[in-house]
Amino acid sequence: MLAPETLEEITAAVKAANRYGEPLRIFGSDSKAFYGRGVVGTPLSLRNLSGVIAYEPTELVVTVRAGTRIGDLEALLASKSQMLACEPPHLGNDATIGGMIGTGLAGPRRPYAGGVRDSVLGIRCIVAAGSLLRFGGQVMKNVAGFDISRLMVGTLGTLGIIVEASLKVLPRPRAEITLCQEVQAARAIELMNAWARKPLPLSAAAYDGVAVYARLTGSAASVASACAEIGGHEADSRFWEDLREQRLSYFLDGRPVWRVSAPPAAAPLALAGEWFFDWGGAHRWLKSEADPEDIKHAAVGCGGHAVLFRGGDQEGEPFPRPPPALLSVYQRIKKAFDPNGILNPGRLLPEL
């Protein structure tokens, strides 16, 4: 396994791989190895390329090497009363920032404070030819050139090796409270959407099959007034971290877990299995052994899509199949970054 400590070593490894057309399996700590298809190739971990390069709290920007652990970065930000707005799941103690960007997975705060893409201001990456490229930057607004730094989010390492990222951070809210009330699924969807239509300081909303949970964050005054409006009783705020890290009992049996993205107000889908709603209804976990085709079909039917997140047949097609015209653009983009197909080939789709 390769675990380079410098950019020069990565460049050399990539150039060699590209010359001989030998695939690389690129990862951080493999905390999310279950996500996406398997890759056959020389393992190349970014975990030793770590550390904070620049942190300027007044700029709301931090620049880190890709192998930096999410936990270490969050601790640093917390020491200055700041945080990553996208609340990324770690799913492992050593989860890295590179993996956060590569998977593009965001936590419960996503609908209210933006996703991983919205946190990325710039990246440096090494493409298959071995060149080190920088896109975006350290400033809030930047429209020079195509937005390749945000394109990289969620590409699962198939376009380039992210070696450095500049991320937007936010001040930590001063007051926070979690409320919950027992309701049926359909009512939970109604409530979560009704809250989102009002100017409430909502920072998370979920339904675990029994109760609907709301997290309110902001100034003491606005949180207090929103509490009165939402009602319910106070719950333990650690719920959100347990949800994000999939430590809740819901996630602890062996059935395949699907991640169904849906328009937030879509009525609960009639599929066999157990549901858990996050993101105010826009992202719904489904634990089910139903036919994958039925699940995918139902998700598309309501205006969303389904991804086989964990378990089941990951070697099939855990991600939805794009329409032909779109797939052809994906393939041409892949070629523009990785003409010989050496960067995590097949992890996202067999063709990429």
Partner 1 sequence: MDLSTELRRLLPREAVIADPASLSVYECDALSAYRQPPKVVVLPRTAEEVRAILRLCHRLRVPVVARGAGTGLSGGALPHAEGVLLSLTRLNRILSIDPANRTATVEPGVRNIQIACTIGGNVAENSGGVHCLKYGLTLNNLLALTVMTIEGERLELGSQTLDAPGYDLLALMTGSEGLLGIVTSVTVELLPRPQAAQVLLAAFKRVEDAGNGVAAVIAAGIIPAGLEMMDRLAIEAAEDFVHAGYPLDAEAILLCEIDGHPAEIEAELPRVAEVLKAQGATEVRVARDESERQRFWTGRKAAFPALGRIAPDYYCMDGTIPRRHLGAVLARIGALSQEFGLAVANVFHAGDGNLHPLILYDANAPGQLERAEAFGGKILEVCVEAGGTITGEHGVGVEKLNQMCVQFTAEELEQFHAVKRAFDPDGLLNPGKAIPTLRRCAEFGALHVHAGKLPFPELERF
Residue ranges in 285-344 that form contacts with partner 1 under rule CB under 8 A:
303-305, 307, 319-320, 322-323, 325-326, 329-330, 332-333, 335-337
Q: Is 205 an interacting residue with respect to partner 1 (CB under 8 A)?
A: no
Taking the complex as a whole, the smallest distance from the CB of residue 249 to partner 1 amounts, in Å, to 26
Shortest distance (Å) from residue 101 CB to partner 1: 11
41 contact partners, CB below 8 Å, separation of at least 6: 22, 23, 24, 25, 342, 344, 345
Pick the closer one to partner 1 by CB: 69 or 283.
Answer: 283
Q: List the interface residues with partner 1, window 218-237 (CB under 8 A).
A: 218-222, 225-226
CB neighbour list of residue 75: distance below 8 Å, 6 or more residues apart: none
* 263 lies in the site for partner 1, by CB under 8 A: yes
186 vs 329 by CB, closer to partner 1: 329
| Size, binding site for partner 1 by CB under 8 A | 82
Q: CB 1 → partner 1: shortest distance, Å? A: 28
In the chain, the amino acid numbered 282 is A
- Nearest approach, Cβ of residue 87 and partner 1 (Å): 14
Window 19-38: residues binding partner 1 (CB under 8 A): none
DSSP string, 91-131: SSTT-BHHHHHHH----TTHHHH--HHHHEEEEEEE-TT--
23 or 264: CB nearest partner 1: 264
What are the φ/ψ torsions at residue 304 (nearest 5 degrees)?
Answer: -125, -150
Cα distance between residue 151 and residue 26, in whole Å: 18
Q: Of the two residues 224 and 272, which places its CB atom closer to partner 1 in the complex?
A: 224
Does residue 351 touch partner 1 according to CB under 8 A?
A: no
**Cα 275 to Cα 277: distance, rounded to the nearest angstrom:** 6
Q: What is the CA radius of gyration of the chain?
A: 21
Interface mask toward partner 1 for 112-151; x: CB under 8 A: --xx-xx--------x---x-xxx-xxxxxxxxxxxx-xx
Please report whether residue 102 would count as binding partner 1 according to CB under 8 A: no
CB of residue 14 vs partner 1: minimum separation in angstroms?
Answer: 14
191 vs 185: CA distance, rounded Å: 10
The correct pick among 14, 97, 262, 269 for binding partner 1 (CB under 8 A) is: 262
Measured CA to CA in angstroms, residue 339 lies from 23, 159, 160, 162, 269 at distances of 12, 10, 11, 17, 41
306-319 burial, b at 16+ Cβ within 10 Å, e below that, comes to: bbbbbbbebeeebb
The answer to whether 155 contacts partner 1 (rule: CB under 8 A) is yes
Q: Which is nearer to partner 1, 67 or 115 (CB)?
A: 115
* 230: amino acid identity, one letter: I
Nearer to partner 1 (CB atom), residue 256 or residue 280: 280
Nearest to 213 by CA among 253, 250, 175, 243: 243
Cβ–Cβ < 8 Å for 207, 185: yes
Q: Taking CB under 8 A as the rule, does residue 258 contact partner 1?
A: no
Smallest distance from partner 1 to CB 44, Å: 21
Residues 39-98 that bind partner 1 (CB under 8 A): 56-61, 81
Instruction: Pick out residues in 162-201 that bind partner 1 (CB under 8 A).
Output: 170-172, 193, 196-201
